[in-house]
Structure 1
Amino acid sequence: MEPDSYSVVDPNIEKLFKIFLDEEDLVGSGHGHGSGFNIHEEALIPGLRPPKQPFHYQIRDTSHKAFYLRDNSLVAANLQGENASQEETVSVVPNRSLERKRCPLILGIKGGSQGLSCGTAEQPRLQLEDMHLIELFYKDEEAKRFTFFKTYNGSMHRFESAAYPGWFLCTSTQANEPISLTTRPGEADITDFYFQPK
């Protein structure tokens, strides 16, 4: 992926930022399926906006492995048949305190009730923390360990830790291995993902 691939506009994520940063004209804006945001009647009352909600995405690596929970750890595997129901949807809200053009996203699962954290140690370690993404949206410094800069080249997406520059979200080439972080994108581990609105 080109280093400046973040300059390509991702329309779904652009909509996410506009809604959360109150730049979106809600009346007649036509939020459709997959936005993770539904207009209610109260949105049409002047000055009253519905509560913000995370957007939800299906994420798969280039081997089409999906994320699922095993022993409170996020793992990647090809989920088929009755196992397909175990797939975890990734929830996102923007990080309002970081450079917007780098597409800083706070990531989580379980509808946004658990955040995907890189921890606070010298070396990052991917872990789940019970932290609502909507709360993190308002906690600038605390949100950084849950934030990933998303790059995008039209079909593939990469996620770089905001707190640990140079560390990227990755899956193993083997199935049923934990999702982790790597400093060597595009090498042994898989760092490119399909990322589509649910």
Structure 2
Amino acid sequence: MSFLEDNTGENMDFEDWEEEEAQCCSEDPAGSPMETGQSQASVSSVHTSPRVKAKEPQKFSIFDRDHKVLVLDSGTLKAIPHKSYILPETFFVLASHLAKPSEEKGSPILLAVSKGEFCLCCDKNKGKRKPSLQLKKKKLMSLAAQKETSRRAYVFYKSKVGSRYTLESAAHPGWFICTSRNSGDPVTVTDKTGRRKHTEFSFENPSKTEMSQ
């Protein structure tokens, strides 16, 4: 996955953030427009309004089942063995609103890298039959305020599997963010889960990752 142009503070553990997210989603049942200068962090999953309040995105380092860490290398997300000299990419994670979310699939979220300036997107390139994982130049907080039709390709369902999480595309059901068993391969999406692809990830507080090095 590489960068593509698109024309159209405190960190916490992932489980702690989920609890706060759930509380946030129950605070504003009517939904209200985002206001300039408001404190922004996670988009409520309230179903009555496509434009709802947002808080600050939470920050995490992401690891696959082999404990390979996701890094950004020359504009491409890759999974490499975690070493003391490796600086994991910081992912900005924000809860996202969907008009008709699937509770069975998990919680809809948006993910971004490069200080929230590039967002992960699962979409089909022109002439392609299968979707691919892309990084598009779009600010996370701006994306969160857009209508669902413009935002859906950027939404992933976060679902807990044991102590890890899967990330399934909302726009392309059955397609999951994945890493290869081989070190250094780009992060992609797959509709086939199994030994060759890792689709389960752990989310760690960046400060904890730095302390363990």
User: What range is the shorter-chain TM-score in?
Assistant: 0.7 to 0.9
Aligned length: 164
What percentage of residue pairs aligned between the two structures are identical? 28
Q: What's the CA shift for 1:194?
A: 1.0
Runs of 4+ in structure 1 deviating by more than 6 angstroms, as ranges, are none
Range that drifts further, 59-68 or 186-195: 186-195
After TM superposition, the structure 1 = structure 2 runs for residues 8-47 of structure 1, keeping only pairs within 5 Å, are 10-19=15-24, 21=25, 23=27
Q: What's the CA shift for 1:157?
A: 0.7
Q: Give, in whole Å, the separation in 1 of the partners of 2:113 and 2:102.
A: 22
- TM (normalized to structure 2)? 0.69
Mark the CA change 1:18 to 1:130 in structure 2 (over 3 Å): closer, same or farther. Answer: farther
> Helix, strand or coil for the counterpart of 1:152?
strand
Cα RMSD (Å) of the superposition?
2.3
Gapped regions of structure 2 (runs ≥ 5): 1-14, 29-36, 41-54, 207-213
- Which of 66, 75, 78 is equivalent to 2:81? 78
Q: Give, in whole Å, the separation in 1 of the partners of 2:169 and 2:198.
A: 15
Q: What's the CA shift for 1:74?
A: 0.5
Mark the CA change 1:18 to 1:131 in structure 2 (over 3 Å): closer, same or farther. Answer: farther
Q: Give, in whole Å, the separation in 2 of the partners of 1:67 and 1:177.
A: 10
Q: Give, in whole Å, the separation in 1 of the partners of 2:116 and 2:18.
A: 16
Q: Give, in whole Å, the separation in 2 of the partners of 1:152 and 1:112.
A: 24
Aligned position for 2:39: 50
- Which of 179, 184, 206 is equivalent to 1:176? 184
CA contact (8 A) 1:148 1:159 kept: yes
